[in-house]
Amino acid sequence: MTDPTTPQEQLGTLTMLVHRFEPGTDEVPRFVEYEVPYGQDTSVLDALCWIKDTLDPTLTFRWSCRMGVCGSCGFVVDGAPRLGCEQFVRDLGPGPVRIEPLANLSVERDLVVDLEPFMQSLTAVRPWLVPDPDDPVTEGSHTQTPEQMLAFHDYTMCIDCLLCYSACPQVGLSPDFLGPAAITAAVRYDRDSRDHGQRERLPVLDSQDGLWDCTFVGACSTACPKGVDPAAAIQQAKAAAARSWAAEFLLPRRGDRP
């Protein structure tokens, strides 16, 4: 069988400046320089693993799938939020290249950021399917045409990597802002023809720290590695909230289904 540890053809080396911070030891973060060999298919994640295996086992970062689907390995690479497994070293440089933790989230250690605020936001928007209260489907499957799926499908592709939180200026300014991925999760269900939970989610979205914090810079959509377009989701949620107000005003008690 193939031996994946066989050194592939080396294209060169790159100097990486990696953000280090050990709680209890470091007062402030520091940057440590590493010289990393790379080949045609060496990703930033591979490079970090190489550093950990061969130079410094204490370098700390999250990773798992190494194929762009688990969402663990978001870093800021030369100023831009990227998935480490999808950013190839060959496309960087000439160096030194800075590897930093995602911005706008507090740093636990080295490249590991605190995900708890996001987990709370995600839970707060009630990201689950609410059945039709009058006529719930309790057996078999709903019917849903491919066209109906198009209304929300892109929003299901979010991997919760939080590159969008790193990119969003509002997340940095108002720490309680729900943020792009959490709002997108709500909109994903709101726009699902099987769901009847919009009324439950609206008060969370249409609140102090909800979707109105968004100033529509669109940085989230630029940063998204999965083409989810959270900015569009937020705009749709704003429009839906506005329609709901109008409907509430004109047709009391029917504002839940604009």
Partner 1 sequence: MRTLRADVVVVGGGGAGLRAAIAAATARPDADVLVISKVYPMRSHTVAAEGGSAGVVGDDDSVEQHFADTVSGGDWLCDQDVVEYFVEHATEEMQQLERWGCPWSRTDDGAVAVRRFGGMSRPRTWYAADKTGFHMLHTLFQTSLKHGSVRRLDEHLVLDLVVDDGRVAGVLTYDQRDGLPVLVEAGAVVMATGGASRMYAQNTNGAIVTGDGMAMAYRAGVALRDMEFVQYHPTGLPGSGILITEGCRGEGGILLNADGRRYLQDYALGPETPVGSPQNKYMELGPRDRLSQAFWHEQQAGRTVRTPRGDAVHLDLTHLGRELLHARLPLICELAEQYMGIDPAVAPIPVCPTAHYTMGGIETDVTTQTSLPGLFAVGECASSGLHGANRLGSNSLAELVVLGKVAGERAADFASSGGVPSTAQVRRTAESAAHDRLSLMGRGTEPPSQIRDELGRAMDGGVGIFRTREGMTATAQTVAELKARYAEVRVVDTCPVYNTDWATTVELGAMLDVAEATVHSALAREESRGSHQRLDGFGERDDERFLRHSQAWFDPAGPPRLTYAPVTITTSPPASRSYGDAGRTTGGGR
Q: Which residues bind partner 1 (CB under 8 A)?
A: 1-6, 8-9, 22-25, 40-41, 52-54, 56-58, 60-72, 86, 108-110, 112, 115, 119, 122-123, 126-129, 131, 137-146, 148-149, 152-153, 156-157, 159-160, 185, 189, 192, 194-195
CB nearer to partner 1: pick between 142 and 243: 142
CB nearer to partner 1: pick between 33 and 114: 114
Minimum distance from residue 109 beta carbon to partner 1 (Å):
4
CB nearer to partner 1: pick between 122 and 170: 122
Question: How far, in Å, CA of 163 to CA of 224, rounded?
Answer: 6
Minimum distance from residue 158 beta carbon to partner 1 (Å):
8
Strand 80-83 versus strand 74-77 pairing type: antiparallel
Minimum distance from residue 84 beta carbon to partner 1 (Å):
12
Residue 210 · residue 244 · CB < 8 Å: no
Minimum distance from residue 138 beta carbon to partner 1 (Å):
8
Q: What is the DSSP string of 25-69?
A: T-SS-EEEEEEEEEETT-BHHHHHHHHHHHT-TT-------SSSS
Residue 16 · residue 42 · CB < 8 Å: no
CB nearer to partner 1: pick between 52 and 199: 52
Question: How far, in Å, CA of 256 to CA of 240, rounded?
Answer: 10
Minimum distance from residue 228 beta carbon to partner 1 (Å):
12
| Cα 164–Cα 196–Cα 140 angle in degrees, nearest 5 | 105
Question: How far, in Å, CA of 16 to CA of 95, rounded?
Answer: 7
Distances in whole angstroms, Cα of residue 186 to Cα of each of 25, 133, 157: 40, 19, 13
CB nearer to partner 1: pick between 65 and 251: 65
Minimum distance from residue 181 beta carbon to partner 1 (Å):
11
Question: How far, in Å, CA of 174 to CA of 165, rounded?
Answer: 11
